[in-house]
Amino acid sequence: MKQSATLAAQLGEAARIVARVAAGKSLTDEIGRLSDLDSRSALIDLTHGTLRRYGRVQAIVASLSRRGRPDSLVEALLWCALYALESARHAEHTVVDEAVKACGLLERWPAKGYVNALLRGFLRQRSALEAQLASEPEARYQHPQWWIDLVRHAYPETWQAVLAAGNTHPPMALRVNRRRTDVDQYQARLAQQGIAARRCGAQGLLLERPLPIERVPGFAAGEVSVQDAGAQRAAHGLDLRAGQRVLDACAAPGGKSAHILELAEVALTALDVDAARAARIAPNLERLGLNAQVQVADATRAEQWWDGRPFDRILADVSCSASGIARRHPDAKWLRRASDVTAFAERQRAILAALWRLLAPDGKLLYATCSIFPQENDAVVDAFVEAEPRAQRLALADSAPAQWLPAAEHDGFYYALIAKRA
């Protein structure tokens, strides 16, 4: 009884969150407001799982509804319930019954019969629906049409796999803080506690199964951080040396800044335009026993924060569409529009040009995004290098391709290393 009551409450709360996201709110912000750790994992699963299915759950409700589009909260409840049914974590009859109960928790009592009928209709007609969904690209690939078109044009041989990867549960990778422990020692410690992990990169360990952060050994003591294997490429790509002045120009919440400081004794400035996000940098560094100068300012407005001394290395981890990490932030598929890609590219060009003026002769700038759209990546970098006489694009330190697409071991990231000729 307790379990079913909990499921009804979780479906109701998940519906509230998903409805707010559909109205334009950030999923990260909505989840961040949750204080009950016991229900947090279940709600993350319900909300993220539902939103990863973007077009599918919408198409199912639209197909089965005989009364037009329902109330937004009831619609969100149906989406969440459909995900719960397809995840098979609960018996089908349990999900249906608890979704009906959730109508009462949401004060949508008149919708009980409608919710019951639609969900049971889905269970009866599931096979027939699959053929219909396969013919609708947004339902089949669970991305908006414009996103599908961009990926298909960019990756004509692998576009379906790229889209499919964007709908999966993301991997969980740890970055071992080498100032506090050794990777092999930490991996052995995990094994002793029954946590399977394998090496990925110089300081990385990929967990066989994700864990709640509070269950990660040594996290509170600063021995490890959670950071995707693709994101861990950034610090290694900067060619760091002791004594360098380094700028992390879009630093919040501080993961890449921390990795830089773990690798080399440098003077780091961590800059971010968002004060709320920048406030997270110092606590994250403190947990790891690291220090940096944290500033809140616009990277394109150097006169507001720069002391005039050039930087030897600059990490330009610019804001982007987040198309390479959409499985972690599935609301991106709700909230982005095709025009946003063009807007991001314009902003990226402005940031790159502004930061270039702050780079010392013979210095190196690493341009980075978590996007898979070439319009934000090669198009921006190639145009800049062609227009700037002193810019020279270099091979990356790991000799890997600039563009990593989402895969089983990592998210989608792009890197380009640009040197400034003296």
pLDDT in tens, 239-273: 999 999 999 999 999 999 999 999 999 999 999 99
Burial (CB count <10 Å: 0-12, 13-18, 19+), residue 62: middle
Mean pLDDT value across residues 10-33:
94
Is residue 359's pLDDT more than 60? Answer: yes
Is residue 410 within 8 A of residue 229, CB to CB? The reply is yes
In angstroms, how far is the first alpha carbon of the chain from the final one? 72
SS3 call for 364: strand
- 218/271 same-domain check: no
Task: Give the contacts of 193 (CB within 8 A, at least 6 positions apart).
Answer: 217
65: left (phi over 0), alpha (psi -120 to 50) or beta: beta
- 183/319 same-domain check: no
- 351/384 same-domain check: yes
What's the CA gap between 339 and 341, in Å, rounded? 5
- 201/321 same-domain check: no
- Does 41 or 100 have the greater pLDDT score? 100
Residue 157 lies in a domain: no
The strand pairing partners of 249, in sequence order, are: none
- 20/70 same-domain check: yes
Condensed to tens digits (0 to 9), the pLDDT of residues 195-206 reads 999 999 999 999
**Among residues 192, 207, 226, which one ends one of the domains?**
226
- 177/51 same-domain check: no
What's the CA gap between 138 and 140, in Å, rounded? 6
**Among residues 94, 120, 140, which one ends one of the domains?**
140
Residue 146 lies in a domain: no
218: left (phi over 0), alpha (psi -120 to 50) or beta: left
The pLDDT of residue 36:
67
The pLDDT of residue 40:
82
**Among residues 160, 194, 226, which one ends one of the domains?**
226
Q: Enter the tokens of residue 22.
A: 């559909």
Catalytic residues: 370
Residue 150 lies in a domain: no
Cα dihedral 28, 33, 39, 43, rounded to 10, equals -30
What is the CATH classification number for the domain harbouring 265? 3.40.50.150
From 43, 33, 141, select the one nearest 83 (Cα to Cα). Answer: 43
The pLDDT of residue 1:
37
Residue 149 lies in a domain: no
Mean pLDDT value across residues 36-40:
68
Q: What is the bridge-based pairing of β-strands 204-207 and 197-199?
A: antiparallel
What is the CATH classification number for the domain harbouring 211? 3.30.70.1170
- 336/394 same-domain check: yes
What's the CA gap between 19 and 205, in Å, rounded? 36
Mean pLDDT value across residues 269-289:
96
Is residue 381's pLDDT more than 50? Answer: yes
Range of the domain at 134: 2-140
- 103/29 same-domain check: yes
Residue 134 lies in a domain: yes
- 6/94 same-domain check: yes
The strand pairing partners of 270, in sequence order, are: 248, 294
From 250, 261, 320, 248, select the one nearest 289 (Cα to Cα). Answer: 261
Mean pLDDT value across residues 155-177:
97
Domains identified in the chain, total number:
3
What is the CATH classification number for the domain harbouring 134? 1.10.940.10
- 298/216 same-domain check: no
- 113/218 same-domain check: no
Mean pLDDT value across residues 37-49:
85
- 404/330 same-domain check: yes
Work out the mean pLDDT of the chain and round it to a whole number.
Answer: 95
Residue 42 lies in a domain: yes
For residue 38, what pLDDT band results from cuts at 50, 70 and 90?
low
Is residue 37's pLDDT more than 80? Answer: no
Residue 145 lies in a domain: no
Residue 301 lies in a domain: yes
